[in-house]
Structure 1
């Protein structure tokens, strides 16, 4: 017959094991997402050498910052001579606050899954070779303050959903191939015109005379 003390000890072990499961799952999910990014990038300077996919927790990797709970909050890979593509798995970093990938040679499109990063404060993808359209799903980033996509090869319209982000303060879409009207309501009301310059096909009341009106934007 099991004694009360043994029963309590067994119960405690079960509770502790159950409590440990969520953190392990999160760690695997975040590590898997970052490992997918590493596989998609060319890294001639070996700045991602510490990104060991065999480690459950990526918090020991260089260029990664975690919070006290062991969740990834920053990816700092600006100006690291990286090339390749972004991956949809980045959308699994649900605690990420800063995604810094500026001044590289990253190409391809912006994954719409980045709209799942509900904690994101800063998205800096400027000075790359990104193409395609800006995903409207980025409008779901209701904590976003900084959005810098300038100096890429982006085309299509600026999604109106972005102007509905209440926290958005700094925006830069300059030096792309964007077209269509500029949203001028909501958070875009006080964005300076310099943030949209050198997009020859952009339209809008503020740009009349500076860019030709183009009804065919695709």
Structure 2
């Protein structure tokens, strides 16, 4: 009886892993449908496969969970879906140099394992989400060369003060407000690049 229980538990864990992988595949396929892909770089993103780990531009860990999305300068256009915030093991989100439009979803703040968020050189609008301040693992934040507006959230600035961020580039946007050097104790160990009017 004990052996049967152990086998059932192992089967349940295996099924849970498959379900998670299928869910991640569904999320990425939904994102594919939301993008225009004139160069057909997402051709391999086949939702009928067991998981997305064999897709080009996707990297998974040993548990077949997505940890990296490499689509820089891929000629893609369209919005970044809030669904991407459910890729809970994602460490690298590389979408720079495309034609991403719309806002940066608040849900990206759920990516608490993220190390690098590279969304620069797109046409993203709206504010920088305050939820990004939840990502304590974040080392590289590049949002430069977009059309972002509003003030830099204090929650994001807290990542600088704590010394977590290594690089933050938010230049070439339409951001407002000022940040005084004397108030930012973490700048000595963080490379911060922003428009001169924003950083005094």
Query: Fold-level match, TM-score > 0.5?
Result: yes
Match of 1:196? 194
Maintained 8 Å contact 1:163/1:188? no
TM-score by length of 2: 0.90
Match of 1:148? 142
Maintained 8 Å contact 1:40/1:84? yes
- Residues 151-166 of structure 1: matches in 2 within 5 Å? 151-165=145-159, 166=162
TM superposition outliers: structure 1 runs of 4+ over 3 Å: 7-13, 186-193
Residue from 176, 181, 184 that aligns with 1:179:
176
Match of 2:66? 72
What is the number of equivalent residue pairs in this alignment?
195
Listed as ranges, the gaps of 5+ residues in structure 1 are 1-6, 207-218
Whose Rg is larger? 1
Maintained 8 Å contact 1:29/1:92? no
1:19-40: CA deviation from partner (whole Å, max 9, x where unpaired): 2122012102211211121111
Maintained 8 Å contact 1:164/1:187? no
TM-score by length of 1: 0.83
| Structure-2 separation of matches of 1:69 and 1:120 | 17
Matched, 1:26 2:20: yes
Residue from 161, 165, 174 that aligns with 1:168:
165
Question: Once structures 1 and 2 are overlaid, which stretch shifts more, 157-166 or 72-81?
Answer: 157-166
Compute the RMSD of aligned alpha carbons. Answer: 1.9
Match of 1:120? 114
Structure 1 position 53, deviation (Å): 1.4
